């Protein structure tokens, strides 16, 4: 393999200094056209590729921003994958019968897909490369620290790193907290109207559909989104003098399998609530799965609602009533907030709260027209 050319090779080939090569690559308008053209010709002839790390050291910028979030999928049931051997080399095909009752604990988390898509689109539009990191268990803190040392700025999903860790990292790199309210810090925050959305949905179930017995299915313990949605649910009940426990009694960990588990628990009880209000769509879809297996009709016997507005809820049977949040916009606005902070570091901390929509579908109202979104 041929050794790749260096900046020294380009400088020698063009007959200029290393500093001139650097100026041509970073600030071409500051260099005389004839000199600039000679350097660029040498770059092309030699096949020189500028080092991002080297440019970062010179300009104190890497051109890379980071997105960090906590992994939710199961890790203890991952099988080994063979890189070598007959099975890996032979390829082939087999027939697998998909059994409806079969569950997969590694359910794709579509919320993160949409947020990531927004971050990718806006990063590309803004001229940044995007580095994505996922924290798992005891390695999460080290992962976010490593990322902070490699990027110009970092977006962190709320709850993925401690407030103390974010405060420490923010002394070295700009931080934007996604999907979480400000809690006395000086960081930029971009979130959605979680409490307002859940309060509006719950009010509709009570006032318009007559549901008086409601069960709430919470997500992961410690999630800021979950806490806000729970507060909105309780506020709607309190507005109507209906009792709610101080803390959620059912948790599905934001996963479809968690929703199935909660559904099985509910269906073993003597009586059903009129409505199950879930903190996200994946858990709601899991409850609907369990209801189908148990022979419980949705919405005739049990109303089920979610929160997020993922495509899977639009395609389910019945289609899922939900609070649709602007997931892609959340990602895009977070990148914009980080770009703003990088351009003007001394600006006051900003807090953006995006609106949501309550979307009515057949999991709550069997008479909903199919033309609804």
Half-sphere exposure of 155 (CA within 13 A, CB side): 30
Per-residue pLDDT of 184-226, as tens digits, reads 788 999 999 999 999 999 999 999 999 999 999 999 888 889 9
What's the alpha-carbon Rg for the chain, to the nearest Å? 26
Q: Which of 115, 131, 112, 110 is nearest to 331 (CA)?
A: 115
C-alpha 192/C-alpha 181 separation (Å) is 9
The tens digit of pLDDT for each residue in 120-172 reads: 999 999 989 999 999 877 678 888 988 988 899 999 998 888 888 898 899 88
Q: How far is CA 161 from the centre of its chain?
A: 14
Question: Tokens in use for 114?
Answer: 């949409």
Residue 51 confidence (pLDDT): 59
Residue 95 has a pLDDT of 80
**Residue 21 predicted with pLDDT over 50:** yes
**DSSP 8-state class, residue 254:** T
Contact 148, 165 (CB under 8 A): no
pLDDT band at 369 (very low <50, low <70, confident <90, very high): very low
pLDDT above 70 coverage of the chain, percent: 85
Which of the 8 DSSP states describes residue 311? H
β-pairing, 322-324 vs 357-359, is antiparallel
Q: How much is the pLDDT for 28?
A: 80
- Gap between the Cα atoms of 294 and 264, Å rounded: 8
Q: Is omega for the bond preceding 318 within 30 degrees of 0, making it cis?
A: yes
């Amino acid at each position: 393999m041929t050794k790749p050319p260096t900046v020294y090779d380009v400088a020698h080939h063009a007959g200029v200094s290393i500093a001139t090569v650097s100026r041509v690559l970073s600030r071409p308008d500051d260099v005389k056209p004839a000199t600039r053209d000679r350097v660029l010709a040498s770059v092309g002839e030699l096949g020189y590729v500028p080092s991002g790390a080297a440019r970062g050291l010179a300009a104190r910028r890497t051109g890379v921003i980071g997105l960090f979030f906590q992994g939710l999928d199961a890790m203890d049931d991952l099988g080994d994958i063979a890189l070598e051997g007959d099975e890996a080399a032979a390829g082939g095909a087999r027939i697998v019968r998909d059994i409806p009752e079969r569950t997969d604990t590694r359910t794709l988390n579509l919320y993160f897909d949409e947020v990531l898509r927004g971050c990718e689109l806006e990063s590309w539009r803004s001229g940044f490369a995007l580095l994505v990191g996922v924290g798992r268990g005891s390695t999460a803190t080290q992962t976010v620290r490593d990322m902070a040392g490699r990027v110009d700025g970092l977006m962190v999903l709320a709850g993925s790193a401690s407030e103390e860790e974010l405060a420490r990292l923010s002394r070295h790199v700009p931080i934007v907290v996604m999907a979480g309210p400000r809690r006395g810090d000086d960081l930029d925050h971009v979130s959605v109207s979680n409490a307002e959305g859940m309060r509006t949905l719950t009010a509709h179930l009570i006032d318009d559909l007559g549901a008086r017995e409601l069960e709430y299915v919470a997500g992961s313990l410690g999630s800021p989104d979950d806490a806000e949605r729970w507060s909105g649910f309780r506020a709607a009940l309190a507005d109507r003098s209906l009792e709610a426990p101080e803390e959620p009694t059912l948790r599905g960990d934001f996963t479809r399998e968690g929703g199935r588990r909660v559904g099985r628990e509910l269906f073993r009880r003597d009586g059903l609530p009129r409505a199950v209000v879930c903190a996200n769509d994946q858990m709601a879809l899991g409850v609907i799965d369990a209801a189908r297996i148990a022979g419980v009709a949705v919405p005739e016997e049990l109303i089920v609602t979610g929160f997020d507005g993922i495509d899977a809820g639009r395609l389910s049977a019945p289609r899922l009533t939900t609070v649709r949040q602007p997931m892609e916009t959340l990602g895009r606005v977070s990148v914009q907030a980080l770009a703003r902070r990088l351009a003007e570091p001394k600006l006051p901390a900003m807090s953006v709260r995006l609106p949501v929509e309550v979307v009515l579908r057949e999991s709550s109202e069997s008479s909903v027209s199919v033309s609804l979104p």
